[in-house]
C-alpha cells in the first residue's frame, strides 16, 4: 500500500504551486504521516514497559526529520561519525543515542564515547580491548549464525559481517564485566524490509534466551534488548502491512513469561527506519522527454543514483508511480508499458521497468512513492549528477525547504586543495 490517501489529499492539490515555487526534482516528506506512524508504534507498545524506539538515522539523515523523532520521544540509532554529530546537534542526549557501528576504528569508538557518550553497541568481541575507558553500560550486537535463517533481503546470518558469534557472546559479556561494565544490553538485526511479524517475534524469543543464558552464567541482569529495525512496508499496492499490534502483543507475552521466571524483564528497544518514514516521502520529478527505442521511455529530470538508487541497485525494489498532469490531476487512460528513466549514462538508471502507466507526455509530473527511507539517503554523485532538494509538508500545511539541492560548487569543493606531492622520483644529476 504505497502513499496514503490522506498524504495524496494533502499533497496533490498544492503540488502545482509547490513545483512553481521550488522547481523539480524534490523529495517531499509528510510530517503528519510521520507523526501518526510514530504515535501508532508507541500506542501498540504502550503495555510493554520501557519500550523505546531509536530511529535509524541512516534511513533519512535530515535534521528536520530527526527533530520530529525527538518530538515523538524517540532516540536515534547511529552508525557513523556524521550520524553521531547529527544526533548531538539536534538535541539527543547520551541515553537517546544507540551507536551500532561495524568494523569500527579505535578513533570512532572514542568519538562515540566523547561528549557524554552514548549507548555503545559493540559489533565484535575484539572491540572490547579497543575501548580505552570502558563504559558502565555496554551492549553487544549478536549474530545467531545458523540458528536463524535471515530473510530474503538481509541474507543469511552466517554470511553477515555483523555481530558477535553465538559461541562468543557469553565470553564477550564476561570480558566486559572484567573491564568494569555494570549495566548490559543485547542487540541484533537479522531482518530487512520484512512484512511477516513472526520473524520479529522469533527474534524477541531468541534474544530473551541469550539473555537468560548470559544472566545465569555470569550473574548479571540485562537492562534492555534491541531487536533492530527491518520492519517492512508494502511498496506494492496489493501488499499487506506488517502487523505491529500482533508483534507488540506477542512480545509482551514473552516478556511477561521472562518476568515471571526471573523477577524482572529487560526493556524492549527497536530501531526502525523504513517503517517510520518510508511511506511518508515521495520523489516529484517533471517528465522532460518521451522516447521510443526498442521500448517506450518516459524521461524525467531526476536520476536514480542521486534521488532514489533503490530501483537501480536492487533488482526486486519496486516503487509505485503516479503520473499527474501539470495541474496536479492524476492521469488516466491510454495505458502503455514504459521504462521511466533518468539522465545518467548508466542503463540501470530506471525508476521503473516495463511499468503500465497512463499515457504520459513531457510536462507531466512523476510522483514516485515511498521514498521516505533509504532513498535520498542512498543517493550519490555518480556521473556528476547532483542530489535533489528535500521539502517538508508541515502539519500547518506549509511547505518548507529542509535540505537544499546540491550545486556544482558542492561537487567541485573537494577539487579545491593546496598542492601536495610526495616525491619518490630519483634526483637526476647533470
Ligand atoms: C543496525 C541497523 N539498525 C536499523 C536499521 C534500519 O532498518 P530499517 O530502516 O529497515 O528499519 C538498519 C538498516 O540498515 C541497520 O543496519
- The answer to whether the bond into 25 is cis (omega within 30° of 0) is yes
Q: Mean pLDDT for the chain? A: 96
Same domain, 178 and 314: no
Same domain, 257 and 125: yes
Q: Is residue 7 part of a domain?
A: no
Same domain, 299 and 266: no
Per-residue model confidence as pLDDT tens digits over 23-78? 999 999 999 999 999 999 999 999 999 999 999 999 999 999 999 999 999 999 99
Same domain, 116 and 260: yes
Q: Is residue 214 part of a domain?
A: yes
Same domain, 112 and 136: yes
Q: Is residue 422 part of a domain?
A: no
Per-residue model confidence as pLDDT tens digits over 103-137? 999 999 999 999 999 999 999 999 999 999 999 99
Select from 34, 53, 55, 56 the residue to mutate for testing ligand 1; criterion: most ligand atoms less than 8 Å from CB: 56
Would you state the pLDDT for residue 74?
98
Q: Is ligand 1 within 6 A of the CB of residue 272? A: yes
Q: Is residue 102 part of a domain?
A: yes
Average pLDDT over residues 260-285: 98
Residue span of the structural domain in which 376 resides: 280-404
DSSP 239: P
Q: Residues of the chain with pLDDT > 70: what percent?
A: 97
Per-residue model confidence as pLDDT tens digits over 172-208? 999 999 999 999 999 999 999 999 999 999 999 999 9
Same domain, 263 and 284: no
Same domain, 113 and 149: yes
Q: Is residue 145 part of a domain?
A: yes
Cβ–Cβ < 8 Å for 144, 227: no
pTM of this structure: 0.96
Would you state the pLDDT for residue 155?
74
When pLDDT is cut at 50, 70 and 90, the band that residue 428 belongs to is: low
Q: Is the model more confident about 326 or about 139?
A: 139
Same domain, 159 and 131: yes
Question: Which residues participate in catalysis according to the annotation?
Answer: 345
Last residue of a domain, one of 272, 303, 327: 272
Cβ–Cβ < 8 Å for 384, 346: no
Reported residue count of the chain is: 430
Q: How far is the CA of 369 from the centre of ligand 1 (A)?
A: 20
CATH (domain of 305): 2.40.37.10
Q: Is ligand 1 within 6 A of the CB of residue 202? A: no
Average pLDDT over residues 225-253: 97
Residue 51 grid coordinates: 519500550
Last residue of a domain, one of 213, 241, 272: 272
Q: Is residue 28 part of a domain?
A: no
Residue 33 neighbours by CB under 8 Å, 6+ apart: 4, 6, 7, 279, 280
Q: Is ligand 1 within 6 A of the CB of residue 370? A: no
DSSP 92: -
Q: How far is the CA of 65 from the centre of ligand 1 (A)?
A: 16
When pLDDT is cut at 50, 70 and 90, the band that residue 152 belongs to is: low
Q: How far is the CA of 271 from the centre of ligand 1 (A)?
A: 7
Domains in the chain, number: 2
When pLDDT is cut at 50, 70 and 90, the band that residue 315 belongs to is: confident
What does residue 151 show for φ and ψ, rounded to 5 degrees? -125, 170
In the predicted structure, residue 82 carries a pLDDT above the cut 70: yes
Average pLDDT over residues 299-307: 98
CA distance 281 to 286: 17
Q: Is residue 244 part of a domain?
A: yes
Q: Is ligand 1 within 6 A of the CB of residue 342? A: no
Would you state the pLDDT for residue 427?
65
DSSP for 367-426, written as a single string: EE---SSSSGGG---GGG--PPEEEEE-TTS-EEEEEPPP-HHHHHGGG---------PP
Cβ–Cβ < 8 Å for 72, 38: yes
Q: Is residue 188 part of a domain?
A: yes
Same domain, 251 and 285: no
Same domain, 234 and 92: yes
In the predicted structure, residue 4 carries a pLDDT above the cut 90: yes
Same domain, 261 and 387: no
When pLDDT is cut at 50, 70 and 90, the band that residue 149 belongs to is: confident
In the predicted structure, residue 430 carries a pLDDT above the cut 60: no
CA distance 88 to 300: 37
Same domain, 295 and 391: yes
> What distances in angstroms separate CA 377 from CA 125, 182, 301, 314, one per listed residue?
30, 36, 19, 15
In the predicted structure, residue 348 carries a pLDDT above the cut 90: yes
Last residue of a domain, one of 238, 272, 306: 272
CATH (domain of 268): 3.20.20.10
Would you state the pLDDT for residue 12?
96
Amino acid at each position: 500500500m504505497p502513499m496514503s490517501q490522506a498524504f495524496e489529499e494533502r499533497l496533490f492539490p498544492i503540488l502545482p504551486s509547490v513545483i512553481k515555487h521550488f522547481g523539480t526534482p524534490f523529495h517531499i516528506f509528510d510530517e503528519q504521516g510521520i507523526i501518526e506512524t510514530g504515535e501508532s508504534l508507541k500506542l501498540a507498545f504502550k503495555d510493554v514497559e520501557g519500550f523505546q524506539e531509536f530511529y535509524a538515522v541512516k534511513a533519512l539523515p535530515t535534521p528536520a526529520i530527526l527533530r520530529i523523532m525527538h518530538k515523538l520521544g524517540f532516540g536515534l540509532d547511529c552508525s557513523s561519525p556524521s550520524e553521531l554529530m547529527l544526533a548531538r546537534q539536534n538535541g539527543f542526549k547520551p541515553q537517546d543515542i544507540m551507536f551500532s557501528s561495524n568494523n569500527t576504528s579505535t578513533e570512532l569508538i572514542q568519538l562515540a564515547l566523547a561528549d557524554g557518550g552514548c549507548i555503545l553497541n559493540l559489533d565484535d568481541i575484539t572491540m572490547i580491548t579497543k575501548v580505552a575507558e570502558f563504559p558502565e553500560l555496554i551492549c553487544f550486537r549478536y549474530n545467531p549464525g545458523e540458528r536463524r535463517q535471515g530473510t530474503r533481503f538481509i541474507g543469511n546470518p552466517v554470511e553477515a559481517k555483523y555481530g558477535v558469534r553465538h559461541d562468543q557472546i557469553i565470553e564477550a559479556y564476561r570480558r566486559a564485566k572484567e573491564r568494569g561494565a555494570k549495566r548490559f544490553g543485547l542487540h541484533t538485526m537479522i531482518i530487512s524490509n520484512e512484512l511477516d511479524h513472526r520473524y520479529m517475534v522469533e527474534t524477541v524469543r531468541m534474544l530473551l534466551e541469550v539473555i537468560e543464558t548470559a544472566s545465569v552464567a555470569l550473574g548479571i541482569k540485562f537492562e534492555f534488548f534491541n531487536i533492530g529495525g527491518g520492519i517492512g512496508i508494502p511498496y506494492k499496492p496489493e501488499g499487506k502491512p506488517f502487523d505491529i499490534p500482533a508483534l507488540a502483543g506477542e512480545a509482551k507475552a514473552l516478556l511477561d513469561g521472562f518476568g515471571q521466571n526471573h523477577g524482572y524483564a529487560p526493556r524492549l528497544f527497536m530501531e526502525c527506519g523504513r517503517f517510520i518514514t518510508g511511506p511518508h516521502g515521495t520523489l516529484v520529478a517533471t517528465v522532460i522527454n518521451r522516447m521510443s527505442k526498442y521500448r517506450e521511455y518516459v524521461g524525467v529530470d531526476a536520476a536514480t543514483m542521486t534521488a532514489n538508487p533503490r530501483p537501480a541497485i536492487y533488482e526486486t525494489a519496486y516503487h509505485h508511480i503516479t503520473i499527474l498532469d501539470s495541474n496536479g490531476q492524476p492521469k488516466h487512460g491510454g495505458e502503455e508499458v514504459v521504462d521511466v528513466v533518468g539522465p545518467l549514462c548508466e542503463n540501470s538508471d530506471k525508476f521503473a521497468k516495463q511499468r503500465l502507466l497512463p499515457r504520459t507526455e513531457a510536462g507531466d509530473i512523476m510522483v514516485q512513492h515511498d521514498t521516505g527511507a533509504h532513498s535520498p539517503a542512498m543517493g550519490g554523485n555518480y556521473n556528476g549528477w547532483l542530489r535533489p532538494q528535500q521539502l517538508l509538508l508541515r502539519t500547518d500545511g506549509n511547505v518548507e525547504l529542509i535540505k537544499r539541492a546540491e550545486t556544482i560548487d558542492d561537487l567541485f569543493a573537494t577539487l579545491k586543495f593546496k598542492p601536495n606531492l610526495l616525491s619518490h622520483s630519483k634526483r637526476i644529476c647533470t
